[in-house]
Structure 1
Amino acid sequence: MAYKALYRTYRPSSFEEVAGQQHIVQTLKHAIEQNKIAHAYLFCGPRGTGKTSIAKIFAKTINCTSEGHRPCQQCENCLEVQNGSHPDIVEIDAASNNGVEEVRNLIEKVKYAPLKGKYKVYIIDEVHMMSTGAFNALLKTIEEPPAHVIFILATTEPHKVLPTIISRCQRFDFTKVPSKEIEHRIHTILNAENITCEEEVIRIISQLADGGLRDALSILDQCIAYAQNNIEVHHINEIYGITTVSEKIQMLNDIIDQNAVSLMDKVESIIEKGIDIKRLTVDLIELLKESILFEYTKDSSLLKILGSTEAQHLVEKTTLQKRFSMIHLLMEAYDKYRNAANVPSYFEVCMLQMLDVASLKEENNIHIAEENKQSNVKPNVSRETLVKEKPSLILADEEEDDEYIGNIEEEKEEISEENIQKEEIKQYEKSIKPLDNEFLLSLLAGANKPEKAKDIEKFNNLDFYMMDLNYAKYANLLKHCLIVASGNNYIVLCTDNQPEANEINEADQQDKFGELMVKLLEKNKKVFAIAKEQQKIVIQLFKDRMIAGTLPQPAYIEPKMIEKKVEKQMSEEEKVLDLFGEENIIVTEE
């Protein structure tokens, strides 16, 4: 006798054996008990979740002749449905019978009474494959079939089914089978088949099945064929090209430890073995995600892949911010795989980018309350300098980010004088290198919408000052800038490239913008400039940190004071000399 696949051998024969879908099972059982059976059903959901199995159990139950529990599995109707020979249970594959003629033949047979059972049940699988003409031919029959006929339509793509068909059916949406139920079912089958299997193998099978029990049993079938009666982790790794959890953690360790040679050797080995790069990318995302979840909750019961020791190891090895950045790089790479001609190359580049993220030095964050508590610097700052606004900001040319960030309604706590560290703010002021992302996050957290709206309106008057000899040089520096965010005493601008941003920051450190800001914005605001590339990174970091609840405390910038200069009246000759330079003027006597 030919071998019968596990998913066929162990197909459920009663509602009690169905894995998952309890909401559907319960509804159908109640409908049968109360004799409220509909004339048409639409079963929708992912592949391998039990649509046709439940349809057959339903057909068996309503035709069972037992007076007690149904289906009894012993009467003639039950046995014939079980072995697929019942004349009144008709299975149709719409993929190959999707024309108008096939439907007309079906309609012609519908009018005949059932031969053995109480009902004739038509199970039409993959019904979305039917043509529009076939659907239209079926409409009237589905709406008003004979009393002895029940239609069960099954599909993985309900959006392709005509709305007029859907409206004539009771719709049941099948969900993915939970991993725990898949694992329980696999255990039952392994015991029945007398096969030993490592627990990790069962977990991996459940993960690969992605909620499809049929897929899980097909994978198990293949593992049994390969490993016979004793399945170990390396067997499934070899069959499906999967790396072990320890190998993935070692890759992350190499990234965090900046061991580029070891990392690239591992990547090369993975590519040579033909391991599924997409699956590996998803697995690395899951590992990092679980470590973040564990850091927040300290609840090992939420871990599905990592053990608590492994999760704690990743927590201690690197910061939350870096792990979030790594996840975003992996997600970007996975998104690009769809159109990539060479997926391994994208993966290699992603690994190198992660090395770059992991290499960023940890700097003291002057705005995080926890670090402030550890600091001994306690400058004397007046409370008038504290910003008491909500962290609502508008980001330049980012309407989606405006909606995303601008609606934050968390009230800020008042920050004590001990939390403001002048010494470290001065270090930022002395530097003309790109501003630190953490510092920028604190600037964004302290910004607000109304202030920015005012500044944008006033910034439109910048052209007027480009013709003024006193302000032209510095107005021209700002002419291509866009306002990213505004606080009471500062403004964050975005420019095309980093050299321009550095030049603006250097000019501000030398207090070159003071009088221009007073004229333009009616406030002497400190100017911070960033390049477009850094703006994108900081916006994404802001989103992640806001979701995670780890945004730094808002930046508090002291108002800059402008010294009033006593203007000396200049003669006409002195004005000319000042304008053109003495060396460029030749004085001749008439």
Structure 2
Amino acid sequence: MKNNNLSLYRKYRPQKFDQIIGQYFIVKTLQLSIFNNNISHAYIFSGSRGTGKTSIAKIFAKAINCENFKNDICDNCKICNSINKNTNIDIVELDAASNNGVNEIKELIDTVKYSPTESKYKVYIIDEAHMLSTSAWNALLKTIEEPPKHVVFIFATTEFHKIPSTIVSRCQRFDFSKLTIKELEDLISLVSQNENILISNSARNKIALLSNGGARDCLSILDQLSNYTNNNINVEDIDNLFGLISNNYIIELLNFLIKGDNTNLFLLFNKMTNKNIDYLWLINQIINFCLDKAIYLKTNNSNLLNSLSVNELYSFECNDYNLLLSLVENFKETYENIKKYGNSRFYFELALLKNSNKNIENNNSVLQVQEIDIEKETKNTNNNQIDLSSIFKTTTVTNEYKLEEKKNKDSIEKLTSQQEDKYDFNYMVDENKSIINPYQINNESLLLESINIPDYDWLSIFLSIAANNNSEIKKNDVNKLELIKNNKFATTNIERLILNIEKILISSQNGIIILFNYKNEADKFNEYFWSEQSYFEICDKLDSYDRLVYAIDKKKATEWLEIYKQNKNKQFEDVQLSLLKYKHNDNLNNNEDLLKQISDILKKG
């Protein structure tokens, strides 16, 4: 039966190397160093709490002094017994959190020069070593640099980065990893069996998850639950005692959030708040669930799941990779705000409001943009042919233009239209023949490297490219994009943006329509395409020279494809893209050439 006078984590603290769970490589290295009599004068054990730093330090201190060491401690000799009873004065354990001053360290240094009383080595175990003051480290530096042969220092810390580099360079460092879920579950099973505690498999797994890789936390939670449940533990007991929410509730909350169902979202949240919620734990679970789903979407491998079961994975109704990453970032910010400012419920409700979007669809109704796979057909001239002039928001353009004086700037040439139409082709041309969208000229005006997207009728361009979609060309474009994505290594903003392309939606001989999940991504891509600096990089990556590449988001794609279906019986003339690419055409030598090309193309309508 359980010893009521001793907590489980103290009762089951390992006393020998073979009782240690995890940390295989550290244990093996320390054993070999003892076997080969190659013991260092100073060690740093760093890692998360409850991973065995202090326990292994004590075992190592016992091992190097054991009278009958053979691969492991005998645990029966005089030295081992005295260390187990804490009566061996040669093993000094110092808590640096409460003894961090220079005076305490000087007292310790004064004892270093004396030989061990009964052991081979004098071992100083300094726990929470990062708490030592700078002056304390400075006082200790000389001793660590040139210690007596009979002295071994072991510094245990959870914050290695706070240890001075001058100390680190004089020590052997061992990084303790968190225990795996499997290792913690095995520990729970062992202790439960010895203590006659009944525990379900799901409860055992949840305790392991709550422990965050720490054996001490794991046994402390088990100890608390065994008292609360009278040695019969299930998942509901864990949730009730620690203010946790079941995975099913969390997934349901996320599904409402993704669908933008605010009513049910906050009804469920209010129901959850009837418990004393651990908001930091809840946010951590949300982040883990989103990461699990995102990793699965990229790998299609359920063996890589850390927090979700396979059934929970499929009940989590989100297949939007970018959305999942966005949720991770947003809830990470919420986590940091709660830790910094408190007021947990306020920040969590604020996160729900910020992330709830009624335009976002769930997994079963994720916006699936209809594929276009229309073979290019021979065009028959008929009365339904659409005039390409609508693309340029004008019907006729003359060769007349006038000069306008612009304050503090060079004169610019302006094309004028004589057609009484609601559209006006009023792009302006500077002396360097760079076309600048007048709607994007700011008060500083005419920046030489201005990035702008021409104000064409992009819907008409989309319809024309869609009508001339070619499946073979599209197949080649898709293969090129897949090669880029398989590389998964981006060094420029353009490469990173290309990796976010959802798919090639339409391809024709003269144009490509690409699909992004979000409008801001599509807009950014189009800005890059019309920038002289990045145009050629895009063409090189997508092999799209002499073709227009235009990006749209899912919402716009759905609307425009519906318009296309309504007009699919009409005849579309193929887009002539020489004008659309005029900004990047080195053959435009003067304004007259530009005007002539514009006029020639528009007359074809």
Q: TM-score, normalised by structure 2?
A: 0.65
Letter in 2 for 1:139: L
1:226-269: CA deviations, max 9, x gaps?
11210111111112111111222222343456543332122123
Map of 2:285 onto structure 1: 283
More helix, by proportion? 1
Letter of the aligned partner of 2:316 in structure 1? L
User: Structure 1's 42 and 490: CA in aligned 2 closer, same or farther, altered over 3 A?
Assistant: same
Question: Matched residues in 2 for 1:243 and 1:516: separation?
Answer: 60
1:346 partner amino acid: Y
- The CA distance in 1 between the partners of 2:70 and 2:287, in whole Å, is 52
Change (3 A) 1:277 1:490: farther
**Cα shift at 1:192:** 1.0
For the 8 Å contact 2:45–2:176, the answer to whether it is kept is yes
Identify unmatched segments of 5+ residues in structure 2: 378-467, 483-489, 537-543, 553-576, 588-596
Runs ≥4 residues deviating over 6 A: 382-392, 407-410, 442-450, 491-494, 514-519
Q: Is the 8 A contact 1:88 1:114 kept in 2?
A: yes
- Native 8 Å contact 2:68 2:77 kept in 1: yes
How many residue pairs end up in the alignment? 462
**Do the aligned residues in 1 keep the contact of 2:17 with 2:72 (CA within 8 Å)?**
no
Tell me which residue corresponds to 1:479: none
Q: Which residue of 1 aligns with 2:268?
A: 266
Tell me if the contact between 1:291 and 1:312 (Cα under 8 Å) persists in the aligned partners. Answer: no
Which residue does 2:600 correspond to in 1? Answer: 564
* Other-structure match for 2:346: 345
Which of the residues 105, 110, 113 maps onto 2:112? Answer: 110
What SS is found at the alignment partner of 2:313? helix
Measured at CA, do residues 453 and 488 of structure 1 come closer, stay the same or move farther in structure 2, by a change above 3 Å?
farther
Paired residue for 1:247, among 249, 269, 284? 249
Q: Which amino acid letter does the alignment assign opposite residue 29 of structure 2?
A: T
Equivalent residue for 2:215?
Answer: 213
Question: Could you say what secondary structure the match of 1:563 adopts?
Answer: helix
Q: Map 1:395-406; keep pairs closer than 5 Å.
A: 403-406=492-495
**Corresponding residue number in structure 2 for 1:378:** 375
- Which residue does 2:533 correspond to in 1? 453
* Aligned position for 1:63: 65
* Corresponding residue of 1:176: 178
Deviations 1:368-388 (A, max 9, x none): xxx44xx5x334438899897
Q: CA deviation at 1:99?
A: 2.2
Of all paired residues, the percent bearing the same amino acid is 37
Residue pair 1:447, 1:487 contacting (<8 A) in 2 also:
no
* Residues in 1 aligned to 2:162 and 2:211: alpha-carbon distance in whole angstroms: 25
- Superposed, 1:379-458 pairs within 5 Å as 379-380=376-377, 381=468, 403-406=492-495, 420=507, 437=517, 452-453=532-533
SS state of the match for residue 492, structure 2?
helix
CA gap of 1:288–1:140, structure 2 versus 1, over 3 A, is closer
Structure 2 partner of 1:91: 93
Query: Within 5 A, what are the aligned runs for 1:38-57?
Result: 38-57=40-59
Separation in 2, partners of 1:162, 1:77: 34
Residue identity opposite 2:221 in structure 1:
I
Is residue 31 of structure 1 aligned with residue 33 of structure 2? yes
Alpha-carbon offset, residue 336 of structure 1: 4.3
* 1:11 paired residue among 3, 10, 13: 13
Alignment counterpart, residue 124 of structure 1, candidates 104, 126, 129: 126
Amino acid at match of 1:348: E
RMSD of the alignment, in Å?
4.5
Could you tell me which residue of structure 1 aligns to residue 139 of structure 2? 137
CA–CA distance in 2 between the matches of 1:447 and 1:2?
70
Distance change (3 Å), C-alpha of 1:224 and 1:487: farther
What TM-score, normalized by structure 1, do the two folds share?
A: 0.67
User: Counterpart of 1:123 in 2: which secondary structure?
Assistant: strand
SS at 1:378 equivalent: coil
Deviation at 1:90, TM superposition (A): 0.9
Q: Deviations over 1:49-99 (max 9, x none)?
A: 111111110111111112645411111111111122212111111222222
> What is the CA distance between 1:362 and its match in structure 2?
5.0
Partner of 1:465: none
Q: Which blocks of at least 5 consecutive residues in structure 1 are unaligned?
A: 393-400, 429-434, 457-485, 495-513, 525-560, 568-590
1:365 to 369, 380, 393: 369
Say whether the 8 Å CA contact 2:66–2:79 is kept in structure 1.
Answer: yes
Structure 2 distance, partners of 1:192, 1:261, is 49
User: What is the alpha-carbon distance in structure 2 between the residues aligned to residue 48 and residue 176 of structure 1?
Assistant: 8
Are the counterparts in 2 of residues 190 and 196 from structure 1 also a CA contact under 8 Å? yes
Name the aligned partner's letter for residue 228 of structure 1.
Answer: N
Residue of structure 2 equivalent to 1:556: none
Distance in 1, matches of 2:140 and 2:495, equals 52
